[in-house]
A = this chain, B = another copy of it.
Amino acid sequence: MMKQKRRHVTLEHVATHAGVSRSTASLALRGSSHISEATRERVQASMRELGYIYDRVAANLRSKDSSTVGLIIMELANPFYSELLVGIHHELDKFGKTVILGTTFDSPAIQERLLSTMLENRVGGIILSAVPGSSSEPINRFRDLGIPLVLINRKLQGAECDFVGVDNVEGGRIAIEHLIRKGHRRIAFLGGLPQLSTWRGRKQGYDEAHRMAGLEIDPTLVIESRATRQGGIEAIQKLLALPSPPTAAFCYNDTIAIAVCMHLQSVGLVPGRDLAIVGFDDIPEATIFSPKLTTVSSYIRLLGEHAARLLHARIDGADAPPQSVIVQPELIVRDSCSDPAKKSE
């Protein structure tokens, strides 16, 4: 497919031009200390003169290493994953690794296909945000092949590998504690699906905070939905249809929270006043949206950076047992969440 208009310059040509052997040229090129300064300079001059392009792929083939890393996420058109990519790409860049991107749209079949493709493309390692409920078998296969894999954000049952994620239980807890401190007693948990390990964590935090405050949980206030804009709208509609709606809602994530707020506004209700809203993740939209979202920050970029660093350490041979990096979330108080008593901002 790739056309070569001009004669392709290889190391062979450079070596001949510089009057040395291929091996010497190879060592000179990579700055080996076994090569005399004079020779190195001669080789470099030849490289420049001939317009030599180093073929890193051929080099990797021979030396059995890899300059790429696979990144598999749910989708790109999602601020959470965009931010994750930013963190990962930025960090990997420092190590001279390039990322090969794949999106699953939460399909287990696509995930398996992508995992195979990445293998075929000789990635040095994988960062995977796993499809909920997908098989851990292909993941453990990487371990057997000696190819490092780190799971990011979502845990996967049965997968024995490194993990980087936020403390969802803690995140759920601080969100609810904040709401309780504000005087709320009936607090909904809106959106997301129990298949997601993140959902279960946040729910557990929700439960624990209630228990610690001696508050009972009304199960009708826990409304599941897909973690999309549309899912958020469905959830808030169900909530508003309840005989006695709550005064506050903790949303599975900011996408849900924004959708909920928009729906409230569209029916003439004021988010923050008529229903206090707390989100999760602190995506960039959270500050653009009005009201500015009170939310639990996942430090998404940091998550990505941790995953990249951990993976890089593994590729470099750190052969320790599986490790987890858990980022501590933080409550970011903004405008979507006011006192239930005073009904005006």
Residues of A within 8 A of B (CB): 1-6, 53-58, 60-61, 64-68, 76-77, 82-83, 85-86, 89, 93, 98-103, 116-117, 119-122, 124, 144-147, 258, 262, 265, 284-285, 288-290, 315-317, 319
Contacts and interface: CB of A to CB of B under 8 A. Distances in A.
A66 B145 contact: no
Contact of A316 (B1, B4, B56, B285): B1
Contact of A76 (B67, B85, B122, B290): B85
A302 B77 CA distance: 14
Contacts of A65: 1-2
Nearest to A123: B2
Given A61-B61, A89-B76, A53 B119 contact: yes
Contacts of A66: 1-2
Nearest to A56: B120
A287 to B, nearest CB: 9
A121 B56 contact: yes
What are the 8 closest A-B residue pairs judged by CB atoms, nearest first? A3-B146, A1-B65, A5-B146, A56-B120, A290-B290, A57-B122, A76-B86, A98-B100
A268 to B, nearest CB: 15
B64 A2 contact: yes
A175 B262 CA distance: 27
5 contacts: A1-B66, A2-B147, A61-B61, A76-B89, A98-B100
Nearest to A96: B117
Contacts of A56: 120-122
Contacts of A116: 53
A188 to B, nearest CB: 22
A71 to B, nearest CB: 10
Contacts of A289: 288-290
Given A82-B76, A86-B77, A2 B61 contact: no
Given A82-B82, A89-B76, A55 B2 contact: no
